[in-house]
Amino acid sequence: MAATCAKSLLCILVLLLTLPAAAGTDPTEYQFLWSDGAYLHRVALNGATVASGAAISISLPLYISKYLVDGHNELEVEYTSDSRVGLTVAVETRAKEPRRVEVARFHSPPGESRGASVVKTLAFTVHVHPQPPLHLTDADREAILAVLQSYYATLVRRDGAGLGKLYAKAMEEDAPIYPEGIGVFQWVLGDSQRMLAAPQFHMKPFQRTGLLFSIAGQVVVVTKPDGTPVVESDAGEPGDGAQAGFNPESVAFEKYDGRWYLALPFGF
């Protein structure tokens, strides 16, 4: 759930992310979904569930472009009305100018469903302009590995300020389109800097051979075939703060202005 996934550094840093090139040159639009009120149980787009739970709230907007088609779409909302609070679910199109346009809004007033769980649908039209597919070359892989090596070296040095610099480009590029996520990531980054400053924090040796490169939109995700962490900190001794580990099972990258950088973990 987007509303709760910011609870730990690792929860954030192993997710996928980001946005494309410089403002003013990128015509791509991005669709997001958010909700306000109670009690939302499930949201689906064109039959695909994008959020579900006993009672959920989507205060940190979800990136939903991958669920949409160009033209006619259908929003499905399952909910139980609260007697005091209404429910709103909205879909926004955003661009990097920055620009926001609401393209769909579902609203239920307080008490409408009289305590029963109901499902309602809303048809809407949106124009989706996907980016061209990403083709990864050997030179791209080598450039990504160089950034990954720099990332690891920064962790070895326990350099919190350096870690912030590695993410600075992605934060600069993504802030116009997703300021809510940038705010969460800045909090996470501060938490990571405190973790790196802990005396017991140390990184294990890094093995750069045998890594897998997967393409997700404009993002390249690096993983290991066996699902073990790409980079890994020592477990530490019991009672010395060992829970503050750094063990991402994936690390994401995106190209901005012709260069590869660490990508932020927002899933687009």
Closest to 16 in 3D by CA, of 255, 214, 240:
214
Do residues 210 and 119 both lie within one domain? no
Exposure string for 170-201, b = 16+ CB within 10 A, e = fewer: bbebbbbbbeebbebbeebbeebbebbeeeeb
Write down the pLDDT at residue 21. 32
207 Cβ contact list (under 8 Å, min separation 6)? none
- Of 94, 126, 158, the residue at which a domain comes to its end is 126
| Domain boundary, last residue among 98, 126, 154 | 126
Q: Which residue intervals of the chain are DSSP H helices?
A: 9-13, 138-156, 160-174, 179-196
Q: Report the candidate in 64, 63, 56 with the shortest Cα–Cα distance to residue 87.
A: 56
Q: Are residues 146 and 102 in the same domain?
A: no
Binned at pLDDT 50, 70 and 90, residue 16 comes out as very low
* Digit-coded pLDDT (tens) for 201-215: 999 999 888 999 999
Q: Classify 220 as helix, strand or coil.
A: strand
Residues 163, 254 within the same domain: yes
Residues 19 and 145 in one domain: yes
| CA separation for the pair 177, 212 (Å, rounded) | 29
Give domain status of residue 104, yes or no: yes
- pLDDT score at 19: 33
Residue 154 lies in a domain: yes
Cβ neighbours of residue 199 closer than 8 Å, sequence gap 6 or more: none
Cα distances (Å, whole numbers) of residue 263 to 14, 253, 254: 11, 5, 5
Residues 144 and 248 in one domain: yes
**pLDDT of 45 above 50:** yes
Looking at the fold, whether 118 and 152 belong to one and the same domain comes out as no
- For the residues 171-188, what does the mean pLDDT come to? 90
What band does 267 get if pLDDT is binned at 50, 70 and 90?
low
End-to-end CA distance of the chain: 15
Q: In this predicted model, what pLDDT tens digit does every residue of 62-78 receive, in sequence order?
A: 999 989 999 999 999 99
Q: Any idea which of 4-13, 148-157, 238-247 has the lowest mean pLDDT? A: 4-13
Q: Domain holding 219: CATH number?
A: 3.10.450
Range of the domain at 39: 30-126
How many domains does the chain divide into? 2
**Strand 30-37's sheet: what is its strand order?**
62-63, 30-37, 87-95, 99-108
Q: What's the number of CA atoms in the CB half-sphere (13 Å) around residue 101?
A: 10
pLDDT band, residue 246 (cuts 50/70/90): confident
Tokens of residue 212, six digits: 């897998």
Q: Which of 94, 110, 126 is the last residue of a domain?
A: 126
User: Do 253 and 3 contact (CB within 8 A), yes or no?
Assistant: no
